[in-house]
Amino acid sequence: MRPHPLVAACVAALMCAALTSCSREDDGRNAEPTAGAAVDPEPEETEETGTPSEESEEEPPFGTPVGWAGHPGQVEETEEPDEDEDDGEEVDDPEEHTAVTGGAGGETVTAKDADELAEHLRTDEPLTVEIEGDIDLDGRIRVGSDKTLLGVGEGAELTGGALVVEEAANVIIANVTMTVDETAVSIGEGAHHVWVDGSTFSGGDGDPLVSVTDDADHVTVSWNRFTDAEAAILIDGGDDEERERAPRVTVHHNFFDGTTARHPRALNAEHVHVFNNYFRDNPEYGVSSADGANVLVEGNYFERTPLSVATEKDDEPGNVATRDNLLVDSDQPELRGEVPDPPYAYELDDTVTIPDLVGSRAGAH
């Protein structure tokens, strides 16, 4: 993937440090599905059970994403075929897509300013784009398919704009700090297999820092820190009659540090899996399910969050299942409906360890 041996060695070391893929051997990769029940805030009452499942046969070169972004699957095409190009051959629909690997297999390039960054991210070929230091985005920058955006060294700080993933697939954004006045990472309009990992987000001016909207699908948001913001993550599938598909999103090992709400808020989502996150001092609520969304909340640590999970939105509630959560000065929610287990393998860390584990590792480094 990288043309020069010295560069390859340096990048491998940096990636290991930046994403802590070496130190996170037990962060939910190549493990077994678990099952259990929601518990009261007594550590000794937390139990985890599980059933065996098959592990991935091959680990992608960037590391193994956990959750929906790492799950191969069929994704409906959102664009109608061009009638002028119809040659009479059958078109496979939906298409089968593999787990996210980002720019693996392509070159590694460096971006020092917003113009270079935008140019690299809109190219057609696979690329790993490394950035170090501060970059003023000066607006919204689109991220094309088969890209890895990676902060190196002590990471990278992006301000003054947003990263937009639309009509693109196979994207990784990792080890960046974004302080913004709008949504930092916007994923929508047919985007799929997107992984946002090991980054720090703040600001937003009331907008969600990460949004997964419309018919975006197969998204994982993991090991990030959200702070100094009113809204963290919005997952909104939009109108049932207009969308091509409903979002499937995994939110795991994130630190929601004093953020007000939406951790995430899910509306019209097919499946949202929220596990092993650390919620601390969230004044409104932790997780919200509305408009028929299906949300599984397990193994999370809620601390001084008045309502851990909310299921009501006027007359349009969502479905919620909870298990293995610890509630410290937080209320147990009223559950509603049934939510299936996810189809992928994952490891559920002991809920008691989440404040130390996630509190020390989540975010850009």
Rounded to the nearest angstrom, the gap between the alpha carbon of residue 241 and the centroid of all alpha carbons in its chain is 26
- Position 8 scores a pLDDT of 39
As a 3-state breakdown, the chain gives helix, strand, coil percent values, each rounded to 5, of 10, 40, 50
Q: What is the pLDDT of residues 84-109, one digit of tens each?
A: 434 433 333 446 788 899 999 999 99
Q: Residue 156 pLDDT > 70, yes or no?
A: yes
pLDDT band at 16 (very low <50, low <70, confident <90, very high): very low
- Position 42 scores a pLDDT of 40
Q: Residue 48 pLDDT > 80, yes or no?
A: no
Q: Which of 24, 262, 280, 323 is catalytic?
A: 262
CA–CA separation, 185 and 188 (whole Å): 10
Q: 262 an active-site residue?
A: yes
Q: What is the mean pLDDT of the chain?
A: 81
Q: Residue 318 pLDDT > 60, yes or no?
A: yes
- Position 243 scores a pLDDT of 57
pLDDT band at 54 (very low <50, low <70, confident <90, very high): very low
Q: What is the pLDDT of residues 105-120, one digit of tens each?
A: 999 999 999 999 999 9
CA–CA separation, 289 and 362 (whole Å): 24
Higher pLDDT, 90 or 318: 318
The CB density around residue 116, as the number of other CB atoms within 10 Å, is 15
Element (H, E) at 201: strand 200-203
Q: What is the pLDDT of residues 194-217, one digit of tens each?
A: 999 999 999 999 999 999 998 899
